[in-house]
Copies of this chain bind each other. A is one copy, B any other.
């Protein structure tokens, strides 16, 4: 019987993997990976068979039960099986379902943490999630609405937190803005959209809660985070200043 490692692949850039993740990939026999995991990351596992198993916001994805069965099968035939997940496995990663399936089949599981997108984005922005006198709490949430639930139930977690990070949310930006305002956040609160956090093609769109739908319209099809909080006030002010200068230059030229 082999062992399965649920490994965080981090926000996308290969050198943001942990040393432990890289060492495990180097000796993996099989790697099951999310569609979002980069080729450069997979190149760390030269001798492994690579199997793409979903999941990508709005794209075709492999059913969770089928992934679970593939992991169990692989562990029965190989010593070192790596299940590579974007970001950290324990935040919005469906890790518990895979751990339960493997443990239930008597297979040993070890989880290796990874850099979640919010931390990759914060580093790239140079903006701390918390800041003395401004923010000392952060909520990480995803707005997917379950059957029979109130439409804005997800927004409860945003109410009391100083900084809010929304995962898998950018394609429903109007519902997000509505939900945040319904939860009591001011429509003017600074917000930032970050697409492809930490990658060379990263894009940063500073706005406000009310401006989220318009800003989201500018996004490409990479994974994007929504960050909301007074910690982004300067970033938004700077963006406004640049926009005003541009307009001033155009006015002067006209």
A139 CB contacts on chain B under 8 angstroms: 137-140, 157, 160-161
Copies of the chain in the assembly? 2
Chain A, residues 115-136, CB within 8 Å of chain B (1/0): the string is: 1100110111011111111001
Closest to A158 in B: B160
Interface size for chain A: under 10, 10 to 19, 20 to 34, or 35 or more residues? Answer: 35 or more
Q: Which of A10-18, A216-224, A240-248 contacts B (4 or more CB under 8 A)?
A: A10-18
Does A96 make an interface contact (CB < 8 A)? yes
Chain A, residues 157-176, CB within 8 Å of chain B (1/0): the string is: 11111100000000000000
Known contacts A123-B89, A123-B90, A138 near B136 by CB under 8 Å: no
Contact for A160 among B133, B144, B160, CB less than 8 A: B160
**Residues A1-41 near B (CB distance < 8 A):** 8, 10-11, 13-20, 22-23
Known contacts A90-B129, A126-B99, A128-B93, A16 near B113 by CB under 8 Å: yes
Task: Assess whether A140 is in contact with B141, with CB atoms less than 8 Å apart.
Answer: no
- Top 4 nearest A-B pairs (CB, nearest first) are A156-B160, A137-B157, A137-B141, A90-B122
Residues of A within 8 A of B (CB): 8, 10-11, 13-20, 22-23, 88-97, 99, 109, 111-116, 119-120, 122-124, 126-133, 136-142, 144, 146, 154, 156-162, 198, 231
